[in-house]
Chain A
Amino acid sequence: MDFDPTPEHVLLRDSLRRALADPLAPGEASLWPRCVELGLAALDCRADAAADELQCMMIAQEELGRALAAVPFVATVVHAAALLRAAGTPAQHESALACIERGEATLALALAEERSRYARPAPGVQAVRRDGTWQLDGELAFVSEGDRADGFLIAATHQGAPTLLLVPANAPGLARTPVARLDGHGAADVHLRGVMVPDSARVGPEGGAHLLLESVERMGIVAEVAEAVGCMDALLALTVEYLKTRRQFGRPLGDFQALKHRAADMYVAVEQARSLMYFATLSCAMNDPVARARAVAAAKVQAARSARFVGQQAIQLHGGIGLAEEYRAGHYFRRLTALELAHGDADDHLAALGGMGGLFAAADA
């Protein structure tokens, strides 16, 4: 048993923290190139990747959360690149995947939003196949990082089952409407009207997107749990600092026991989420699909609950300034809320975990 990062992990963490410390320079459009330079775009984040790579994913996400970096790491690397690695053709590996790894392109995963109650109701995308060409029609709402993506991996329904297709953002018939998000990340509504792509754009077997998607979405959840832990850690530190410096009634706020205890409870909440972040990450590496599904659901339940508690209490302990747009605490709170609601909230995952029989076996009679 060992929870210590390796020297390589420490190096990644420290370099990333340094790289993300400075705000965007004039003319610098995104923090993503800094991440690419440190190797994030080339990480293999498939569920069955080497344990070491998954731990790098976890560490990277924690730092991205700490820095509130709005970069397309999950969309492009944890989702899209993993799909291409798992099911892409050699040609797709040489083109799209290589572009991602070099930081030349970002992709967004655009699913028919049937599982998301937060998106506007969307009929999804219908695909028709004619003479080796796919025609796509439909609407995709609230596609994460879809505003700037160079291409989309679209799960389109064909004869009742979803097929994954790689569609360039500039394909004729594809239009997108950027959606402003409260957490500073990008999103877009994507409209497809008679978009034509060749069969060589297909990723994985026809009608075979479900299994592929289930696996990468699960890894996306692990990544988002880690980002939430990084966010919470930074927000707790910010709050504690405020309690030490802000004075009322002639003494620091942190002298009041009611506030000390709240801060202690926030700390407990962060550490519980961190523990299940380790649990989920390390369980993924154990290659037992059922155990993996349970561990990820459990981690999401804990992270979502901790995120809500820590976010709300951070604002409460700050008082009015916590609500000010100019102050960072509220930015963390908004990002935590986004992460909490993404890919199934605490209740969804609680129900799913219960349906899988929970984490502990019932006692023998």
Chain B
Amino acid sequence: MDLRFSAAEEALRDDVRAFVRENLSPELRQKVRAGRHVGKDEITAWQRALNRAGYAVPHWPAEWGGRGCTVTERYVIREELDLAPAPQLVGLGINLVAPVILAFGTRAQKQRFLPGIANTDEWWGQGFSEPNAGSDLASLRTAARRDGDHYVVSGEKTWTTYGHYADWMFCLVRTDPAAAPQAGISFLLIDMKSPGVTVRPIRLIDGAPPGRHEVNQVFFDDVRVPLDLRVGRENEGWSYAKYLLSNERTGSARVGIAKERLRQVKRLAAVDGPRPALADPLFRARVTALEVELKAHEITTLRVLSEEARRGSHTPNPLSSLLKLRGTEIQQKVSELLVDLAGPEALRLPVAEDAEAREAFAALETVGATYFNWRKLSIFGGSNEIQRNILARAVLGL
């Protein structure tokens, strides 16, 4: 047993750190740190810089621009970027659809899409959830019927993150309405510029205005999709979706993000106001308790990682449910601490950039918005109740 990363992994960590120092502008870093809105162009430019350095798709095979790095190396890269903190990698293309295309796509699909995904030349959206298919995803109703060499897609997807940026959407559609819920689903790649696609913003309780919003409704009104944009076999989309979700066991752990936020809590709680919050034993106890939870979660993540490194396969691991559960709960608790630090002013609506003029509060200006926004964490990607169901069934046999 050994807790330490290998010398090669530590060297990689140093490389990433050096890369961040040279490539992440102090302005962008500050923006991410303060939780301010980071625009599409800024994210695109950052991800292209990552790609040039080999940090965007290191886990892909060499043939497609990756270097087949280990799960542990990938964890180290991600953790360093999160600790910087650099803008969150938008992984809809890189981490979600690309592995499915790599595993089940045609040669033509790989050539058409993978380079654009790696370099963030094209943005992707995920078309899974529907108004009546949330946790019960298999009840989705968006229909695709055959018409010659095309599907004709009709229906509605929702909660589409960055749908307003997306050039493409990977989408679960029902191709066999007569089959059992999970049996009649196919996996399509849909051009968002196709006639009949409408994207509408959904405003959230975080107060973000349209244009700076995150999620969308997407309507398909007889949208024609060529048959060769189906990934894999018809009616087997459910298994590809499961593959997609199981692909990244430790991705939902988000250890680096929680660490960075908690370190911010400690910084702010030590300096904020005439009487630092950390001098209050009740507040300090809450911070320390959360540090303990985070350390336990980090070690659990490393345990799963080391198991994954050993087994090296794509078999779903129910422990990813444990990581999702704890990772999201801990992040939500960090966001609570930040709100409590800010006090009533947490409710201040961040308006454009003018908060920068108010240096004293600048570090806490978005904590309210983040707190409200981060309630999503325990809901998306399979709600935490679904994760408990999975743990009870797959681990405990209940």
- CB of A1 within 8 A of CB of B296, answer no
Chain B residue nearest to A257 in the complex (CB): B389
Q: Using a CB-CB cutoff of 8 Å, which residues 221-254 of chain A contact chain B?
A: 236, 240, 243-244, 254
Which residues on B sit within 8 Å (CB–CB) of A133?
Answer: none
Which residues on B sit within 8 Å (CB–CB) of A301?
Answer: 288-289, 292
Question: What string of 1s and 0s marks CB contacts (under 8 Å) between A256-290 and chain B?
Answer: 01011101110110011101101101110010000
Question: What string of 1s and 0s marks CB contacts (under 8 Å) between B72-106 and chain A?
Answer: 10000000000000000000000000000000000
- CB of A1 within 8 A of CB of B292, answer no
Question: What string of 1s and 0s marks CB contacts (under 8 Å) between B284-299 and chain A?
Answer: 1101110111111111
Which residues on A sit within 8 Å (CB–CB) of B3?
Answer: 1, 278-279, 282-283, 286
Bound Cα distance A354, B290 (Å): 11
Bound Cα distance A365, B1 (Å): 36
B306 at the interface (CB under 8 A from A): yes
Q: Using a CB-CB cutoff of 8 Å, which residues 39-65 of chain A contact chain B?
A: 51, 55
Bound Cα distance A236, B389 (Å): 16
Which residues on A sit within 8 Å (CB–CB) of B336?
Answer: none
Interface stretch (choices A2-10, A143-151, A190-198): A2-10
- Number of A-B residue pairs having CB atoms within 8 Å of each other in the complex: 151
Tell me how far the C-beta of B67 lies from the nearest C-beta in chain A, rounded to whole angstroms: 20
Interface stretch (choices B163-171, B238-246, B260-268): B260-268
Q: For chain B, what secondary structure do more than half of its interface residues adopt (helix, strand, loop), or is it mixed? A: helix
Interface stretch (choices B215-223, B348-356, B390-398): B390-398
Chain A residue nearest to B266 in the complex (CB): A362
Which residues on A sit within 8 Å (CB–CB) of B287?
Answer: 354, 358
Which residues on B sit within 8 Å (CB–CB) of A257?
Answer: 389
B302 at the interface (CB under 8 A from A): yes
Contacts A2-B1, A2-B2, A350-B288; A275 near B396 (Cβ below 8 A): no
A325 at the interface (CB under 8 A from B): no
Cross-interface CB contact of B395 among A244, A259, A267, cutoff 8 Å: A267
Tell me how far the C-beta of A306 lies from the nearest C-beta in chain B, rounded to whole angstroms: 9
Contacts A265-B388, A283-B3; A362 near B270 (Cβ below 8 A): yes
Task: Report, as a range, how many residues of chain A touch the other chain.
Answer: 35 or more
Tell me how far the C-beta of A7 lies from the nearest C-beta in chain B, rounded to whole angstroms: 13
Bound Cα distance A301, B388 (Å): 24
Tell me how far the C-beta of A269 lies from the nearest C-beta in chain B, rounded to whole angstroms: 10
Tell me how far the C-beta of B249 lies from the nearest C-beta in chain A, rounded to whole angstroms: 14
- CB of A264 within 8 A of CB of B291, answer no
Q: Using a CB-CB cutoff of 8 Å, which residues 296-325 of chain A contact chain B?
A: 298, 301-302
Tell me how far the C-beta of A352 lies from the nearest C-beta in chain B, rounded to whole angstroms: 9
Which residues on B sit within 8 Å (CB–CB) of A363?
Answer: 260, 263-264, 266-267
- CB of A268 within 8 A of CB of B391, answer yes
A98 at the interface (CB under 8 A from B): no
A361 at the interface (CB under 8 A from B): yes
Bound Cα distance A353, B396 (Å): 33
Contacts A268-B322, A268-B391, A283-B3; A354 near B72 (Cβ below 8 A): no
- CB of A260 within 8 A of CB of B305, answer no
Chain A residue nearest to B395 in the complex (CB): A267
Tell me how far the C-beta of A226 lies from the nearest C-beta in chain B, rounded to whole angstroms: 13
Which residues on A sit within 8 Å (CB–CB) of B284?
Answer: 354
Tell me how far the C-beta of B397 lies from the nearest C-beta in chain A, rounded to whole angstroms: 7
Which residues on A sit within 8 Å (CB–CB) of B296?
Answer: 272-273, 275-276, 279, 298, 302
Of B4, B295, B397, chain A has the most CB atoms within 10 Å of the CB of B295
Bound Cα distance A240, B322 (Å): 17
Question: What string of 1s and 0s marks CB contacts (under 8 Å) between A316-360 and chain B?
Answer: 000000000000000000000000000000010011011000111
Cross-interface CB contact of B299 among A4, A55, A243, A276, cutoff 8 Å: A276
Contacts A243-B398, A264-B392; A362 near B267 (Cβ below 8 A): yes
- CB of A276 within 8 A of CB of B264, answer no
Task: Count chain B residues whose beta carbon lies closer than 8 angstroms to a beta carbon of A.
Answer: 53
Q: Using a CB-CB cutoff of 8 Å, which residues 295-322 of chain B contact chain A?
A: 295-300, 302-303, 305-307, 310, 322
- CB of A240 within 8 A of CB of B1, answer no
Tell me how far the C-beta of A262 lies from the nearest C-beta in chain B, rounded to whole angstroms: 9
Bound Cα distance A347, B282 (Å): 11
Chain A residue nearest to B85 in the complex (CB): A363
Tell me how far the C-beta of B149 lies from the nearest C-beta in chain A, rounded to whole angstroms: 46
Bound Cα distance A140, B316 (Å): 55
Contacts A1-B5, A4-B1, A271-B322; A302 near B306 (Cβ below 8 A): no
Cross-interface CB contact of A260 among B260, B289, B307, B392, cutoff 8 Å: B392
Tell me how far the C-beta of B248 lies from the nearest C-beta in chain A, rounded to whole angstroms: 18
Bound Cα distance A271, B393 (Å): 16
B281 at the interface (CB under 8 A from A): yes
A28 at the interface (CB under 8 A from B): no
Contacts A240-B397, A263-B392; A276 near B292 (Cβ below 8 A): yes
Tell me how far the C-beta of A219 lies from the nearest C-beta in chain B, rounded to whole angstroms: 17
Of B297, B385, B391, chain A has the most CB atoms within 10 Å of the CB of B391
Of B271, B284, B293, B388, chain A has the most CB atoms within 10 Å of the CB of B388
B326 at the interface (CB under 8 A from A): yes
Of A51, A286, A354, chain B has the most CB atoms within 10 Å of the CB of A354
A22 at the interface (CB under 8 A from B): no
Chain A residue nearest to B72 in the complex (CB): A1
Tell me how far the C-beta of B7 lies from the nearest C-beta in chain A, rounded to whole angstroms: 12
Bound Cα distance A1, B393 (Å): 29
Which residues on A sit within 8 Å (CB–CB) of B393?
Answer: 260
- CB of A264 within 8 A of CB of B326, answer no
Bound Cα distance A353, B290 (Å): 12
Chain B residue nearest to A260 in the complex (CB): B392
Which residues on A sit within 8 Å (CB–CB) of B285?
Answer: 347, 350-351, 354
Seen from chain B, the residues whose Cβ lies within 8 Å of a Cβ on chain A are 1-6, 9, 72, 259-260, 262-264, 266-267, 270-271, 281, 284-285, 287-289, 291-300, 302-303, 305-307, 310, 322, 325-326, 385, 387-389, 391-393, 395-398
> What are 15 residue pairs bridging A and B, where the CB atoms are less than 8 Å apart in the complex?
A1-B2, A1-B4, A1-B305, A3-B1, A3-B302, A260-B398, A261-B392, A264-B391, A264-B396, A358-B266, A358-B287, A359-B292, A359-B294, A360-B263, A362-B263
State the 10 A-B residue pairs at the shortest beta-carbon distance, nearest first. A275-B299, A362-B266, A260-B392, A363-B263, A272-B296, A264-B388, A264-B391, A354-B288, A254-B398, A363-B267
